[in-house]
Amino acid sequence: MNYPVLFFLLVLVGNSWVYAADDSAPLIKLYQDLHAHPELSFQEKNTAARIASELESAGFAVTRNIGGHGVVGLLKNGPGPTIMLRTDLDGLPVKELTGLAYASQAQAIEQTGQEVSVMHACGHDIHMTTFIGTARALAGDKDQWSGTLMMVAQPAEERGAGARAMLEDGLFERFPRPDFNLALHVSAEYPAGTVKYVPGWAMASVDSVDISVRGIGGHGAYPHTTRDPVVLASSIVMNLQTLISRELNPAKPAVITVGSIHGGSKHNVISDRVDLQLTVRSYSDEVRDALLDGIRRVAVSQARALGFPEDKLPIVTVREEYTPAVFNNPELTARLADVFRSKFGADKVSLGTASMGGEDFARYGRVQPAIPSVLFWLGAVKQSSYDAAQNGGPALPSLHSAYFAPDPVPTIKAGVAAMTSAAMDLLDSK
């Protein structure tokens, strides 16, 4: 289905762009359809096809299947800078409990082979809708700017793998290398219609670490004949926290969370193995390296301290799906913050706080030479819900919650306004 090109009408008032209200129904309908039909990472076939079709309808030259289901839309409009605007495509293996009329009923087979429910619990449906609204608005005002728009729809953000897959498939070789990279992410903490920005380190690096704790099993009544991996695993879990509390500079944030621990099968049996799964978060590469080295050291040293033989020392594996930390170029962030304040007013735009969440948008800015990049936060919470939570009412559902439900109309309106005004500022003016 084709929709009208414009969501908002750009009007030049003085030296700044403002939006005259237009019928929001087409974009809201797109949002509801995307929300109702999420797809898991690297399975975004139908979602990617829809985004590609929408970009083509807006006048972009579209290339499909980059790094999986990635999509690139190019709109060349004379000399000037190349601006990359990026959205993500994938949903999460979460069973939706929002009760919305357009709630997802989707099911899919996860990588593990397990059938799961699927939901856009991280706002990627808002990201895509804002992305298309921005593409339509900018394409409809080509007489006002000069340069190249590069719209990138990326798969598998939730696995931290999509950006790398697109880059390895020649994203910046097959298409123009951007002068600036921009992205937004909805926030489950701030009211719709607000924008938050964070200069410098904005989101954390993410590592997944597996520790296989091996022991010598036996009868629970005769522990002296065994080397108990449950005891060793417990010791490792507790001592890992000293890497942060006693070895890192307190001014450098970091997180080690043991999210999964599995071992044993019966009350009176000492098992021969316990498996731990960790998520490790930090900002700088220096801190990341210190944490990963420290995890290996703690695991092995605790085993030796408890008398485990050398051939039974723990095996520490750092998985490949590493997500680097998001670094917002400070100069570009300051420039865009001024644009947002001019657009929305100072009361709607403010400095945010860095997050320990991860985002593989970071990879686009880390290519060498580095590309100035900014990811900013878009408030998505219904104002009444936000006000209630600030006054002792129900807590707000977080991102990845089965209850997370953005307030779509003001969120999408603000997202399109923010991203379009940002791109307009960076492109050459006619």
Please tell me whether residues 121 and 213 are part of one structural domain: no
Please tell me whether residues 173 and 278 are part of one structural domain: no
Domain boundary among 300, 318, 336: 318
Report the distance separating Cα 49 and Cα 64, nearest Å.
Answer: 8
Report the distance separating Cα 216 and Cα 232, nearest Å.
Answer: 11
Task: List, for residues 58-109, the tens digit of each pLDDT value.
Answer: 999 999 999 999 999 999 999 999 999 999 999 999 999 999 999 999 999 9
Task: List, for residues 135-155, the tens digit of each pLDDT value.
Answer: 999 999 999 999 999 999 999
Catalytic position from the list 125, 141, 157, 189: 157
Amino acid letter, 168: E
Q: Is residue 1 part of a domain?
A: no
Please tell me whether residues 408 and 274 are part of one structural domain: no
Please tell me whether residues 32 and 140 are part of one structural domain: yes
The boundaries of the domain holding residue 297 are: 205-318
Task: List, for residues 392-417, the tens digit of each pLDDT value.
Answer: 999 999 999 999 999 999 999 999 99
Q: Cα dist. 111→42, 43, 332 in Å?
A: 10, 10, 38
Annotated catalytic residue 157: yes
More confident residue, 321 or 358: 358
Report the distance separating Cα 57 and Cα 53, nearest Å.
Answer: 6
Report the distance separating Cα 61 and Cα 336, nearest Å.
Answer: 27
Domain boundary among 298, 318, 338: 318
pLDDT, position 25: 86
Catalytic position from the list 39, 54, 90, 407: 90
Please tell me whether residues 34 and 173 are part of one structural domain: yes
pLDDT, position 24: 73
Domain boundary among 318, 346, 371: 318
CATH code at 152?
A: 3.40.630.10
376 within 8 A of 417, measured Cβ to Cβ: no
416 within 8 A of 85, measured Cβ to Cβ: no
Q: Is residue 4 part of a domain?
A: no
Report the distance separating Cα 342 and Cα 355, nearest Å.
Answer: 26
N-term to C-term CA, the chain: 33
Please tell me whether residues 225 and 106 are part of one structural domain: no
Q: Is residue 3 part of a domain?
A: no
pLDDT, position 23: 53
What is the count of structural domains for the chain?
Answer: 2
Q: Is residue 279 part of a domain?
A: yes
pLDDT, position 111: 87
Task: List, for residues 168-177, the tens digit of each pLDDT value.
Answer: 999 999 999 9
CATH code at 246?
A: 3.30.70.360
Task: List, for residues 348-385, the tens digit of each pLDDT value.
Answer: 999 999 999 999 999 999 999 999 999 999 999 999 99
Please tell me whether residues 294 and 355 are part of one structural domain: no
294: Cβ–Cβ under 8 A, 6 or more apart, which residues? Answer: 240, 243, 247
Please tell me whether residues 288 and 336 are part of one structural domain: no
Please tell me whether residues 61 and 130 are part of one structural domain: yes
Token match 């856009």: residue? 120
pLDDT, position 9: 42
